[in-house]
Structure 1
């Protein structure tokens, strides 16, 4: 299943986070619930501690594992679970709100390799997914954006700086000659990627601006205030997706946060989120929607085709009521008066296509808890008015059987040996994707095998094989 969602940073601390880039390369459609042949367990690896689900690329399963302060990228044979290759990896100097995840560029794997030159220095590597062999490698540098496909689909674009004294600037690993070159895009130093295919936060404030950078050129720029309410900023989080059929960037940034004294911050959930669409062509604001959060604050981003990591995600957003309070003293988040409505929307117009009230469904307001799938495009809501299964393409609902079993997700947090510094203070905690736990209709762990439909939707599908990453290992299933 796809695991690239939005980034949410609140109060300068990581309260909720997920992948900041989501490449929606097909138009939304429908997801029919079709019974597929049952799966049988083929193998299990208990020696691996996954940092999220694996990604299917080149006929193998590629993913990250983390243990004892180290991070590694590995490839597994989906039929046997055998490790085909593994390399030391690094999260780089990418902001803590961005999870470590596998990036595929032109059928190859792009990742950061840890380097001993200095704290968080790394090499950008493009590797053959089947062998792990290096196809292109940069010199050690400080990367502050993930390695993403450039607009030509073959080069790798990121932002980096040569030393701690510098500000990050756009760079490109040119695959034609394997050269890592700076790009004079016209964007100021300190800009950062906030979406796929060149969507960039220019790093300026008063006003804050977002821009599109393509082929090394700044195509357009837009004040955030033109699309979102006053005070909204990507400093509190963002989630942007590109829907190519209407040729729109659809996204959310956040606001509504007030200080509750030296001990923390409070956020008005109803007033603290909004969604808007910008034209891919010129950045003009096509529509606005106050009070909604794309992908439900990073808890719901579900692809139409779980076997295809580049499949379009189903357009879903949530509306929240209530307040959330972050306590700096206890480093905990509490909520009061939570009420959630899940809805589908038309990316071209922003109009709501269906709506389902689910009450105080805490799992839709807590990204660290992940979510559970009953099948392709079928979300289990266990809290609030649940248990309830929602078809995310139609909004149709049904009550699951009392003894039904699913894969429930939980966001991975892991320690990395090299520190990321925030105001001079070291932070070693990093985040990855979701790992799964067998759960019942109430979302609590059970000692039963999840249904095959849930396994396919939650895991990584490679032909007749399906891999599910758990907190304590990886299970391989086979059809037939």
Structure 2
């Protein structure tokens, strides 16, 4: 049972494109810091202008970030965090990693024979064959020299360190069997299957969950690494009354799976405009079930994930990485969902996108019981479910629109108050980059991919503030990366860095 059209459909409706690529400029050096006594604050160090998307990461004392590239492509760039000088760059492909749609550089840390560990940059680079086929590159951070390469696959998730700590693991599509498998890339460059939970014709979600069709109904199954079924349930038992052929999310909290099923949607494409209409979000459902027995623990209708830090995508059991839920239910990361009345429409063109939605209630919930812990009705004009329009004071305090105006809400407790006009807000600004390597659905090429999410200063209305991009150390501490002692943060114009000023007497 092929699921590739469904995956491509998910990709199609998440598409968009913003500004075209801009040129590069050399780093702008800051003036020499003045002498000071006492604790030294972080001071502006340098700035570069470049079409970056997503925040930079650190790898072995080197900064790494993704950029738009000429010809509607992507590239990875490594830079010196102390000067902003570029060290190397290479072309990047999103391959088939469509969960979440955003691209972010990743690192893998591997053990060597002597027990020492080394950190490498891992990314996909496109092949001439196109159609999102890519090579997996594992390279040295400072030089870009490849240490391992896996050729010609449709990769489904970002690469990550395998549980053995010595190899690189990644989910990829086996086109011969139409199933997603976990592959292991070893030091010799061999790419072998390490887990295949799903037999041919089954769809694999990771964490040992597969969807099987017994000829009359769809079954959600938990299987072990030997492909033995641990438990099996009709999908209609997990999601009563819901239609399975819609958007799906999975995550895990301890011994509990939490799954969400979106309502039925209609997707049309005409004259370059992709339109997704969802008639009624009340038909969505979120369900939790025991990972070991499959028993339903709780089920709530009319809610979908929003303002989500969990990714709602899962990795194979026992593996670590950004796709796996980190922490226990008492984690500091808030659990939040949205309850909406009516439906919504999302329209996307090459030049712009539009999103309309009726009233939404923001809810916190307990992942162990599903019970709502707090509720906050939002204004009909709030675009919370669009995600990238929400400004933040920090990672657990968002600013949303209610009927009282702009309010800041603690996502863990639900406490909220009117946002101060002088507050420095941070917007998740979706920096979409055009990527033009077509894949085909219904004989029509689909070209565009989201690039990544920046965090920029914004005003009380949640609109990015174009007057200044001097974000300061506090912003870098929260949203950028500290790389070899230097805070580096991406803005819509490029990168900015802040370093510790030296005390002089």
Q: TM-score, normalised by structure 2?
A: 0.73
Moved more, 405-414 or 52-61: 52-61
Once the two structures are superposed, the pairs formed by residues 223-302 of structure 1 within 5 Å of their partners are 223-233=234-244, 235-244=245-254, 247-257=255-265, 266-294=277-305, 296=306, 299-301=307-309
In the alignment, which residue of structure 2 is the partner of 1:469? 490
Once the two structures are superposed, the pairs formed by residues 237-386 of structure 1 within 5 Å of their partners are 237-244=247-254, 247-257=255-265, 266-294=277-305, 296=306, 299-301=307-309, 313-326=333-346, 333-335=354-356, 338-367=358-387, 369-382=388-401, 385-386=404-405
**2:75 is aligned with 1:75:** no
1:130-152 Cα offsets, whole Å, 9 max, x none, are 54332321122333444355555
Q: CA deviation at 1:433?
A: 2.2
SS at 2:487's partner residue? strand
In the alignment, which residue of structure 2 is the partner of 1:458? 479
SS at 2:420's partner residue? coil
**2: CA distance, partners of 1:477 / 1:453:** 10
Q: CA deviation at 1:476?
A: 2.0
In the alignment, which residue of structure 2 is the partner of 1:172? 183
**2: CA distance, partners of 1:353 / 1:67:** 45
In the alignment, which residue of structure 1 is the partner of 2:424? 405
In the alignment, which residue of structure 2 is the partner of 1:102? 105
Once the two structures are superposed, the pairs formed by residues 140-151 of structure 1 within 5 Å of their partners are 140-148=152-160, 150=162
Give the direction of change, closer, same or farther, for the CA distance of 1:431–1:348 in structure 2 (3 Å limit): same
In the alignment, which residue of structure 2 is the partner of 1:14? 13
SS at 1:172's partner residue? strand
Q: CA deviation at 1:419?
A: 0.7
**1: CA distance, partners of 2:69 / 2:162:** 32
1:35-62 Cα offsets, whole Å, 9 max, x none, are x99653322120x222322234444433
SS at 2:292's partner residue? coil
**2: CA distance, partners of 1:470 / 1:190:** 44
**2: CA distance, partners of 1:271 / 1:315:** 20
**1: CA distance, partners of 2:52 / 2:291:** 36
**1: CA distance, partners of 2:243 / 2:429:** 28
Contact 1:53 1:63 in 2 (8 A): yes
**2: CA distance, partners of 1:353 / 1:64:** 38
In the alignment, which residue of structure 1 is the partner of 2:93? 90
Q: TM-score, normalised by structure 1?
A: 0.77
Contact 2:179 2:199 in 1 (8 A): no
In the alignment, which residue of structure 2 is the partner of 1:50? 52
Contact 1:373 1:458 in 2 (8 A): no
In the alignment, which residue of structure 1 is the partner of 2:29? none
Q: CA deviation at 1:79?
A: 3.6
SS at 2:383's partner residue? helix
Q: CA deviation at 1:96?
A: 8.1
**2: CA distance, partners of 1:285 / 1:477:** 50
SS at 1:431's partner residue? coil
Larger Rg: 2
SS at 1:414's partner residue? coil
Contact 2:382 2:400 in 1 (8 A): no
**2: CA distance, partners of 1:136 / 1:441:** 47
Give the direction of change, closer, same or farther, for the CA distance of 1:400–1:115 in structure 2 (3 Å limit): same
How many residues in Structure 1 have an aligned counterpart in Structure 2?
Answer: 440
**2:177 is aligned with 1:159:** no
Once the two structures are superposed, the pairs formed by residues 152-231 of structure 1 within 5 Å of their partners are 152=164, 154-161=167-174, 167-175=178-186, 177-182=188-193, 185=196, 187-189=198-200, 194=205, 197=207, 199=209, 207-211=217-221, 215=225, 217=227, 220=230, 222-231=233-242
In the alignment, which residue of structure 2 is the partner of 1:61? 63
Q: CA deviation at 1:421?
A: 1.3
In the alignment, which residue of structure 1 is the partner of 2:32? none
Q: CA deviation at 1:429?
A: 0.4
**1: CA distance, partners of 2:436 / 2:486:** 34
1:389-427 Cα offsets, whole Å, 9 max, x none, are 111122222333212222212223222232121112111
1:271-308 Cα offsets, whole Å, 9 max, x none, are 142222233334433221212222x1xx44289xxxx9
Contact 2:15 2:449 in 1 (8 A): no
**2: CA distance, partners of 1:191 / 1:104:** 30
In the alignment, which residue of structure 2 is the partner of 1:126? 138
**2: CA distance, partners of 1:267 / 1:82:** 47
Name structure 2 gaps, 5 residues minimum: 1-5, 17-38, 110-118, 312-320
